[in-house]
């Protein structure tokens, strides 16, 4: 397909990319994220060992030529465990945020646009859900559905969509009072068309920004759930699980916990940096300034 | 040519607010014939926009039309169902707003917005609509319409945006165009261009225009007839020539004096006093507290529209002897 650089959408996209590219931190963060996603996808093939395979004669090995990052208390290869652990953090968080957007966006939009009783009902539901701490809900779900990454992800999605719905509702509320909505009514558009063709495209940027910002929180929460034992189950190697297991030996062998912790911080920071820059790059007013700067 | 396109009779609109019921429109009379340009003047907050939006039934949720009739093409607008209303809006009535920046969707290009309007109202195919849109833009004096069609609203100047909005409004070839202060946000030279454009269009298409404005000068420039509104009531209605030459209502006289369009050029002479509280209207004439020639009757009973002279209606009890004949 031929790319038309002159078409308006393309022009906009190129400008946004240009603004993002001007920030070294954002570019570095994007590279970091790409790197971790590559690891997440490729981990089954690039791990030197099976992450759950134990080598009972070689416990607590320091880094050496056979085990590049040493071994843990069961003699499992740390490098392989960390590589495979990236899978849960990177991919499961993506799934959670995806569900959040798919569920939260239309609910928030309908709530904001229709207002009245519908709005009242939907917002009270989100209030109720928001009043549960996410961890409590996850514990509850873990007991109902059984422990595992899926019930952890489900629990986080169940809580997460409410904040997305609130954001979209807020934007829709402010957008629906604008004259272009009236103008759309004047040309005879239906409510459905107005909400989804006219208003929603104006909500897309806040949603993207919120989604990116949410990724970091979700990664931390997922690891947290694994850490307390309701997320990924050992011997599967999630970063949270690795940190949790290494905790018992933190004084003698600190690298067991510290390395996955540092990696997690790196990823979360990278997401936040990208989100920050994206917010500026997608703001039509700031964008011009940043492009010129 | 002289068939009545739109008539508004004794329209009353109120807004329910936390602070009480605001009586925004209190007895509006208006007739628009086919091909005519009718001005609606009055100061800020006198209900002219509310009247305009009532005609297309696009009032705020808090507003209620409590009384009156709006007849468009012989059919009562107020009794229409939503579906029929949408059909009328889609095909027959257009509206342009004061602020063209807000009235264009920022995420779509100019071309997309006009093309969409064309497809919706005239059921054109996409490629025909693109051609037609370029044609409309060119006819509105936009240079290089193809390029403009690829641009976003924020990339155009205020005058250009207003033209684009007019293009969207005209795309359906409406029989009535309601223009709500279409030039108030533009500078004087652009204002003149847009007004000229509107009068040309009207002559070429036999479209009627209801021009809502606060500027008597604009009315004098483009309108055939004019209605003067005060505190939600249309207090004087007639041909522009007649009303400018022979204003009968004291408010209209004051307005014309302030606009400095009649009489000797003198110092600006404001109308003393303030408009009545729309939440708590007086029993009698709404202009009572500011009127220079009031009588006891004015305080007791609100005047209704009378045909004072041919094609000249006024709501005032104190007309000079000969000018008065019951409608």
Asked if B219 reaches chain A (Cβ–Cβ under 8 Å), the answer is no
SS3 at position A58: coil
How confident is the model at residue B323, as a pLDDT? 47
Closest CA to B304 of B29, B6, B23, B7: B29
ipTM, two decimals:
0.79
pLDDT band at B171 (very low <50, low <70, confident <90, very high): confident
Structural domains of chain A, ranges and CATH numbers in brackets: 15-51+64-292 (1.10.3720.10)
CB proximity list for A185: less than 8 A, separation 6 or greater: A194, B58, B89
Number of structural domains (chain B) is: 1
pLDDT band at A6 (very low <50, low <70, confident <90, very high): low
Asked if B175 reaches chain A (Cβ–Cβ under 8 Å), the answer is no
Contact A211, A90 (CB under 8 A): no
SS3 at position B308: strand
Interface contact flag, A180 B103, Cβ < 8 Å: yes
How confident is the model at residue A97, as a pLDDT? 94
Query: Which domain does B213 fall in, by range?
Result: 4-80+208-323
Q: Is residue B201 part of a domain?
A: no
Is pLDDT of A257 > 60? Answer: yes
Q: Is residue B37 part of a domain?
A: yes
Closest CA to A243 of A32, A33, A81, A92: A81
Cα–Cα distance measured from residue A270 to residue A32, given in angstroms and rounded to the nearest whole number: 7
Model confidence pLDDT, tens digit, residues B26-58? 989 999 998 899 999 988 888 888 998 999 888
How confident is the model at residue A106, as a pLDDT? 93
Q: What is the mean pLDDT of residues A47-51?
A: 87
Q: Is residue B280 part of a domain?
A: yes
CB proximity list for B165: less than 8 A, separation 6 or greater: A183, B96, B97, B100, B103, B104
Contact B180, B165 (CB under 8 A): no
Q: Is residue B118 part of a domain?
A: no
Interface contact flag, A183 B168, Cβ < 8 Å: yes
Closest CA to B63 of B102, B104, B11: B11
Is pLDDT of A31 > 90? Answer: yes
Is pLDDT of B101 > 70? Answer: yes
Q: Is residue B191 part of a domain?
A: no
Give me the CATH number covering residue B268.
3.40.50.300
Q: Strands B233-239 and B312-314, how do they pair?
A: antiparallel
Which chain B residues are within 8 Å of A185, Cβ to Cβ?
Answer: 58, 89
Asked if B152 reaches chain A (Cβ–Cβ under 8 Å), the answer is yes
Is pLDDT of B266 > 80? Answer: no
Longest dimension (CA), chain A: 79
Q: What is the mean pLDDT of residues B273-287?
A: 83
Q: What is the mean pLDDT of residues B279-296?
A: 82
Model confidence pLDDT, tens digit, residues A121-169? 999 999 998 888 777 887 888 788 888 888 888 888 988 899 999 999 9
Is pLDDT of B18 > 60? Answer: yes
Cα–Cα distance measured from residue A271 to residue A273, given in angstroms and rounded to the nearest whole number: 5
Is pLDDT of B263 > 80? Answer: no
Across chain A, mean pLDDT equals 88
SS3 at position A212: helix
Interface contact flag, A284 B154, Cβ < 8 Å: yes
Interface contact flag, B117 A187, Cβ < 8 Å: yes
Q: Is residue B300 part of a domain?
A: yes
């Amino acid at each position: 397909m031929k790319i038309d650089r002159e078409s308006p959408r393309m022009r906009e996209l190129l400008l946004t990319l240009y603004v993002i590219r001007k920030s070294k931190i954002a570019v570095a963060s994007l590279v970091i994220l790409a790197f971790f996603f590559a690891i997440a996808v490729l981990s089954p093939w690039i791990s030197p060992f099976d992450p759950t395979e134990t080598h009972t004669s070689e416990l607590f090995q320091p880094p050496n030529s056979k085990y590049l990052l040493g071994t843990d208390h069961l003699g499992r290869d740390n490098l392989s465990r960390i590589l495979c652990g990236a899978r849960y953090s990177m991919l499961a968080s993506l799934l959670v945020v995806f569900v959040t957007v798919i569920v939260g966006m239309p609910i928030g939009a309908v709530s904001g646009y229709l207002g009245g009783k519908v709005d009242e009902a939907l917002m009270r539901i989100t209030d109720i859900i928001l009043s549960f701490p996410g961890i409590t809900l996850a514990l509850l779900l873990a007991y109902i559905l059984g422990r595992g990454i899926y019930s952890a992800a489900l629990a986080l999605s169940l809580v997460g969509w409410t904040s997305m719905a609130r954001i979209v509702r807020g934007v829709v509320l402010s957008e629906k009072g604008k004259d272009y909505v009236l103008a759309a009514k004047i040309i005879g558009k239906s409510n459905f068309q107005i909400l989804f063709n006219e208003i929603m495209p104006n909500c897309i940027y806040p949603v993207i920004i919120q989604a990116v910002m949410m990724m970091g929180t979700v990664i931390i929460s997922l690891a947290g759930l694994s850490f307390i034992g309701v997320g990924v189950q050992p011997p599967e190697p999630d970063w949270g699980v690795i940190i949790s297991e290494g905790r018992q030996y933190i004084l003698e062998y600190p690298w067991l916990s510290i390395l996955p912790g540092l990696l997690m911080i790196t990823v979360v920071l990278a997401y936040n940096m990208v989100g920050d820059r994206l917010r500026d790059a997608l703001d039509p007013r700031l964008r011009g300034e940043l492009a010129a700067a | 040519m002289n068939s009545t396109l739109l008539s508004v009779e004794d329209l009353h609109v109120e807004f329910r607010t936390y602070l009480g019921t605001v009586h925004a429109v209190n007895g509006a009379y208006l007739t628009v014939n086919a091909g005519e340009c009718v001005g609606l003047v009055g100061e800020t907050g006198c209900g002219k926009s509310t009247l305009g939006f009532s005609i297309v039934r696009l009032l705020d949720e808090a507003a209620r039309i409590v009384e009156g009739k709006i007849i468009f093409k012989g059919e009562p607008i107020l009794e229409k169902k939503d579906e029929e209303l949408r059909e009328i809006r889609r095909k027959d009535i257009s509206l342009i707003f004061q602020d063209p920046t807000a009235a264009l969707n920022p995420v779509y290009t100019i071309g997309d917005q006009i093309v969409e309007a064309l497809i919706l109202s005239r059921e054109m195919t996409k490629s025909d609509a693109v051609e037609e849109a370029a044609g409309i833009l060119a006819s509105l004096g936009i240079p290089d319409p193809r390029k403009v069609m690829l641009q976003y609203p924020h990339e155009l100047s205020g005058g250009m945006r207003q033209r684009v909005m007019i293009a969207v409004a005209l795309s359906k070839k409406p029989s009535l165009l309601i223009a709500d202060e279409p030039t108030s946000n533009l500078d004087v030279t652009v204002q003149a261009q847009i007004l000229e454009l509107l009068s040309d269009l009207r002559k070429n298409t036999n479209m009627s225009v209801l021009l809502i404005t606060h500027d008597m000068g604009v009315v004098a420039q483009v309108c055939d007839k004019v209605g003067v509104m005060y505190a939600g009531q249309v207090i004087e209605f007639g041909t522009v020539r007649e009303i400018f030459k022979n204003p009968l209502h004291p408010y209209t006289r004051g307005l014309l004096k302030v606009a400095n369009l009649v009489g000797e050029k003198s110092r600006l002479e404001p109308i003393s006093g303030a408009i009545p509280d729309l939440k708590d209207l007086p029993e009698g004439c709404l202009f009572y507290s500011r009127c220079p020639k009031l009588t006891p009757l004015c305080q007791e009973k609100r005047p209704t529209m009378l045909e004072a002279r041919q094609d000249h209606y006024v709501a005032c009890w104190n007309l000079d002897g000969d000018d008065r004949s019951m409608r």
